[in-house]
A and B are shown apart, each in its own frame.
Chain A
Amino acid sequence: MYDATEKRKEVKKKLRKLEGVPTLPPIVQKLSLMIEDERVSLNQIAEVIEKDQVITTKVLRLANSAFYGFPKKVSTVNQAMMLLGLNVLKILIMTSSIFEIIHKEDIGLWEHSIGVAACAKIIAEKVNLAEPQEIATAGLLHDLGRVIQMVTFREEYEVIKKIVQQGKEPLKVEQIVLGIDHAEIGAFLMTQWNLPERLIEAVQSHHFIEQAKKYKKEAACLHLADILIHARGYGKTLEDKLPPFQPQSLKILKISLPEIKEIYYRLEPRLYELKFFTEELKKDFT
């Protein structure tokens, strides 16, 4: 019989060794060391980033996209650092290569991810969660595991897609085929990359909030953002209907239905602008 436990071990081993996992740009390690070194100034960090034109362009593009919703144009790395904070900037740099894979491989998932990022930020602001920009970044990464399934476990992903098309629930199918779902894969990789625990836990628990220990609110925020974006029909994922909803997310965040309405009214113009952003990126890759 097919053993999901064995498969799970195999998948984790592959992830631990980063076999077939998209590589991070070399500048990341240098930056990580600089960020940890207290003697290094922010200006020095900005200088290193600016020397890398490709990274600078990508980061500024993301910083200017509507999901952060800055009224002012961010035109230098220094400004981005001030507005987004070093943590967010580091994550954007680290994951820029992943984002590239997402919009090359699956534009629908990319749109879904930036939609969730925008929505998670609006929710985080509404309920006064610390560092809403960071939460937006977690939104961007919440389906990282799906990208990894797509590029690192290609064959298995095809099987998953086929079974899902027959009307089965994606999360369960992932568990059966790989022994692990996308939320856990994403979190596992984020741990390997030394990303903040708060973001890892939020991503890991975005389908099952009760799994979060320290960061229930963050997990609830991502969960609700994911549901609201699916409900609005922005982007496309394996879930062509709604993923399972956890009503306790509203209780944890203390959000009422009229507040959800407010969130949607703030979100709609952002989504409208984000569509231009993804369309422009699409042109660059065709």
Chain B
Amino acid sequence: MQRLPLSMITPGMRTFEEVIDSQGRVLCGKGVEITGEMIEKFKELGVSYITVEGTVVKLPWEKNLEEELGELEYRFSEVSEETLLQIKEIIKELLYEKFKKVSSEGR
């Protein structure tokens, strides 16, 4: 799944979860193919983000797990303070979880 701003949504993408407007009303169910008309409607109703199936758009700034972990190690390379090291573990956990979610959905 991938969460994208409405401006990057194109017809043919499929919703991964319900599309909800700012008042919490469900505008569209999950697994639905998005059409041009729907995009216009979402725009009118002030929807700003939609989560779609798969990873359809390559975001140039996105890093993979190895890159994230490598950079994390670099940032913490001079750290010995105990609390900071625990914060580093929290970030690692967050990263593992984030990438696990992405890969399990891809299968």
A residues sitting closer than 8 Å to B (CB atoms) are 64, 71-73, 75, 227-228, 230-233, 240-242, 245, 247, 250, 257, 260-261, 264-265, 268-269, 272-273, 275-276, 279
Contacts and interface: CB of A to CB of B under 8 A. Distances in A.
Given A231-B91, A241-B77, A260-B87, 7 more contacts: A72-B23, A73-B22, A231-B88, A241-B76, A242-B79, A257-B87, A261-B94
A245 B81 contact: yes
A241 B61 contact: no
Contact of B22 (A71, A231, A264): A71
Contacts of A279: 61
Given A233-B71, A260-B90, A273-B49, A250 B83 contact: yes
Interface in B65-88: 68, 71-72, 74-79, 81, 83-84, 86-88
Interface residues of B, number: 29
B5 interface: yes
Nearest to A273: B49
B46 interface: yes
Interface of B: 3, 5, 22-23, 46, 48-49, 59, 61, 68, 71-72, 74-79, 81, 83-84, 86-88, 90-91, 93-94, 98
Contact of A241 (B5, B78, B91): B78
Given A257-B83, A268-B98, A275-B61, A72 B22 contact: yes
A236 to B, nearest CB: 11
Nearest to A228: B87
Contacts of A240: 75
